[in-house]
Chain A
Amino acid sequence: MDLKLTSIEPSPAERAAVDGLLGPPAGAAALRAERGGSVLRAQRHRLLPALWALVERVGHISPEGLGYVARRLGVPPAEAYGVASFYAVLPLAPMPTAHVAHVCVDLSCRLAGERSAELRARLAADPDTTVVDSPCLGLCERAPAALVSTPGAPPQHRLEAAPRREVAQRGDASLVLLRRVDVVDPTDLDAYRAHGGYAALRRAFDIGPTEVLREVLDAGLVGRGGAAFPTGRKWQAVAAQPARPHHLVCNADESEPGTFKDRVLMEGDPFAVVEAMTIAGFATGCEHGWIYLRGEYPLAARRLQDAIDAARAKGLLGADVMGRGLSFDIEVFRGAGAYICGEETAIFNSIEGYRGEPRSKPPFPVEVGLFGRPTVVNNVETLVNVLPIVQFGAAAYRRVGTESSPGTKLFCLSGPLVRPGTYEVPFGTTLRELLALAGGVVDGRPVRAVLLGGAAGSFVGPDRLDLPLTFEDTRAAGTTVGSGVVIVFDDRADLLDAVGRIAAFFRDESCGQCVPCRVGTVRQEEALVRLTARRDALDVPGSTAGDLQLLRDVGRAMRDASICGLGQTAWNAVESAIDGLDVFGDSSPEEGTE
């Protein structure tokens, strides 16, 4: 490509950071023959890792650093800029201090109240630290939380949060997904094997890919990322695609506010993720596995990479897995602060080195996915479910849960609970039982509301605590299991603040591609700010009735006409708060507007 590149050279640190990832540049050419074109363009998927390398080393992406990455990868500088500016944790200007503290301002951390303010004040008091607001860091059970990053060689990441909590159900014999977490050393492959590891892969080889597909299909496994699509059908569709190669993407971009269960799995049982992916690759004909991991999970990144390296060293990944002729390997790919990159097609763009904007469907990923090839995308928890299904068979798997929602589910409980954390329960467990597992609300205060499913989910009131948590029951009740978020609000909580935060979150995280979402999320937040201001007796234009009608009109267009799930769900929680929790009180005339 005929790139116009800046002639200004990168700093030695920037050069070292990029060369460290891409290898040293080719020596001075004799200018007699040179390869380029498709050979060079095939490097594009290394763009985001290269930008990450700059940020980890020098803290930001300078024009010179960007130019150097562009030159090394043959990516036009404008395109690289478009990508860099898409992500919230890739600063484009120097940070004024050595450390940057990403302080979570999302729902669970807001509920921590004064402790949240204290944390922020403490971090801000350090003259060497810059405090920036961050959406949910996935540390909700340890709220309030912050991630302090220090660029350098090597970069350092420090969590500032309440002490780590072990899985409360640790040792419970009924655990399926969490059974090894906090029991087995997550860095020890032998320990993993001693606790049942790699038995499922062995059986997969024994029964063959067709039988594996049948087990997964018969088990009734559906996706745990929120959309609840039957995993077996997805796998069959990819397995049947003639186009090669196939790709497997493990969606570990756990960014739904209030969600942290995938982190617990990846940190606590990384080999399970690796083994499950290997089975998925075997069953669907994928040679390449990718773990798209959210950038704010440095520990999970290390655990997964160590597990992959250990598995590869033992022949459990690579050209001939277990000597059974399977070629399969896994690469960890770090996201960089973009909720939208949890959308399956946005992941593809992000990995390929483009802006993480969702693609239009159809074509669906099973036909045209990563690098234009048939692709399986499964959430971490979904994949880990494959292990018991393949090891013990679909029939055994179906013994727990309900007919339509077989198996167990991980729930992420946060808010003012006695023991917040990740809980594994059979589908059909009620919300009340779940809250009881977590010790109930602190000080025994009454529940004012529960947010199910995260920002894209909906609020339910205390009258719904006996709702059985299954896909079918929540759907019938107009809410969702979603990714398993359960954020509890007690009677002291400011629900309007939470609703406002959700609106702000969607505005910040909208990729901006389609009009309903890009402008709709702005108009939604503006209307909520006006409504809140009126509650606080401030003078603002318009009327409550007008703003509520506006919210409904905009919300409906976002739900109907947005490209992807982000825009389509951006009004869910707000709507549920207005209609189900009556957050605007008796002054709310919404009944009259229906």
Chain B
Amino acid sequence: MTTQPVEVARRTVALTVDGQLHHAAEGGTLLDVCRAAGVDTPTLCYGDTLTPRNACRVCVVELEGTRTLVPACSRKVEEGQVVHTDSERVRHSRKLVLELLGSSVDLSVTDGVAAWNERYGADPARFGPAAAPAAAGERDAAVTGEHHLPDPAVAATVAQPPKEDNPLYVRDYGKCILCYKCVDACGEQWQNTFAITAAGRGFSVRIATEFDVSLPDSACVYGGTCLAVCPTGALLPTAEFDLRRTGAWAPERQHATTTVCPYCGVGCNLTLHVQDNEIFKVSSPSDHSVTHGNLCIKGRFGYVHVQPPKRRGPDGPDR
């Protein structure tokens, strides 16, 4: 009774992936097997700290005996499964997912997409020229069930101006692929603040506060749990957004150092992302037992007192 509980030993199952026999722990996913086997599997909505949402479908694989393709990120391993990760069917769906997303969302800063497009031969431009960006608030005002006949000359997109309604972070929903990670992280899976939701339906779905009120009017507590999980740069700290916007972004002059938050006694690990001796972003290791990648407003944004212009030294303000 006084001893530390040990993990229950898991049974292993045998399955075949691309003709190779693999053994995997029961309870794991096909994605786990693929990754362990070095089978490169694209993912967008998958997050290591979140329950898979299966929303993007870019990780689909062919599982013999099932009618449709299955998402590797959430499909559990079972004895005797026969899986194909690079069949024509798989390649087709992955290509189309990349084309459908690429044609409707700005994926310019999403890690991996350029290489996947090349690998699957995806051509997001094939649906025609992109429609003009929506005006601010236009997509948020969409009425569910109201149909608008498409303009045959262009392909619809989610392009819209970024929302800059608070000093700490920017919501650039033209880059949002609706992976739901921010909603889940702000909601029941971590922060439990529920400041944001998926609103509307179909192509009009958007991540929104209630009635699209500004973040300062919403329940947001600025822990940045959403920023930490966003895979596409749709959510960025203002400091990083501004570096990118002004063209000052210089990855070669950046470094990241992990330390501990200076505020309360919980001991959250902070990874400070620094360019030219200025912190532009704070994250936390997603595999750390204290934070699981999450922080509060103080940890995420409370670093300003050590930023240039540096606080007053004996000889006056310093840089």
Contact of A92 among B69, B74, B128, B211 (CB under 8 A): B211
Q: How far is the CA of A483 from the CA of B273 in the complex (A)?
A: 57
What band does the interface of chain A fall in when counting residues whose beta carbon is under 8 Å from B? 35 or more
Q: How far is the CA of A511 from the CA of B129 in the complex (A)?
A: 25
A45 within 8 A of B: no
A512 touches B147 (CB 8 A): no
Per-residue 0/1 for A508-550: is the Cβ within 8 Å of any B Cβ (1 yes, 0 no)? 1111111110111111011001100100001011100010001
A457 within 8 A of B: no
Contact of B199 among A85, A134, A525, A553 (CB under 8 A): A85
Most A C-beta atoms less than 10 A away, residue of B69, B100, B104: B100
Q: How far is the CA of A126 from the CA of B22 in the complex (A)?
A: 70
A515 touches B97 (CB 8 A): yes
B200 touches A512 (CB 8 A): yes
B177 within 8 A of A: yes
CB within 8 Å for A355 and B144 given contacts A515-B57, A526-B156: no
CB proximity of B221 to chain A, nearest CB, Å: 9
User: B180: which A residues are within 8 A, CB to CB?
Assistant: 513
B54 touches A360 (CB 8 A): yes
A116 within 8 A of B: no
Contact of A561 among B96, B103, B126 (CB under 8 A): B96
CB proximity of A480 to chain B, nearest CB, Å: 14
Most B C-beta atoms less than 10 A away, residue of A66, A79, A530: A79
CB within 8 Å for A86 and B54 given contacts A512-B178, A533-B152, A568-B68: no
A456 within 8 A of B: no
A76 touches B150 (CB 8 A): no
Most A C-beta atoms less than 10 A away, residue of B71, B92, B195, B202: B202
Identify whether the interface residues of B are mostly helix, strand, loop, or mixed: loop
Per-residue 0/1 for B128-160: is the Cβ within 8 Å of any A Cβ (1 yes, 0 no)? 110000000000000111110110110110000
CB proximity of B215 to chain A, nearest CB, Å: 11
A525 touches B100 (CB 8 A): no
B100 touches A556 (CB 8 A): no
User: B147: which A residues are within 8 A, CB to CB?
Assistant: 133, 504, 507-508
User: B208: which A residues are within 8 A, CB to CB?
Assistant: 78, 81-82, 85
CB proximity of A315 to chain B, nearest CB, Å: 41
Q: How far is the CA of A557 from the CA of B71 in the complex (A)?
A: 13
Q: How far is the CA of A512 from the CA of B93 in the complex (A)?
A: 17
B→A interface (CB under 8 Å): 52-58, 60, 68-69, 71, 74, 76, 89, 92-93, 96-97, 100-101, 103-104, 126-129, 143-147, 149-150, 152-153, 155-156, 177-178, 180, 187, 192-205, 208-211, 218-219
The 6 closest A-B pairs by CB, nearest first: A88-B145, A82-B197, A76-B194, A512-B205, A557-B96, A519-B100
A→B interface (CB under 8 Å): 1-4, 63, 66, 76-82, 85-92, 132-135, 337-338, 355, 360, 362, 504, 507-516, 518-523, 525-526, 529-530, 533, 538, 540-542, 546, 550, 553-554, 556-557, 559-563, 568
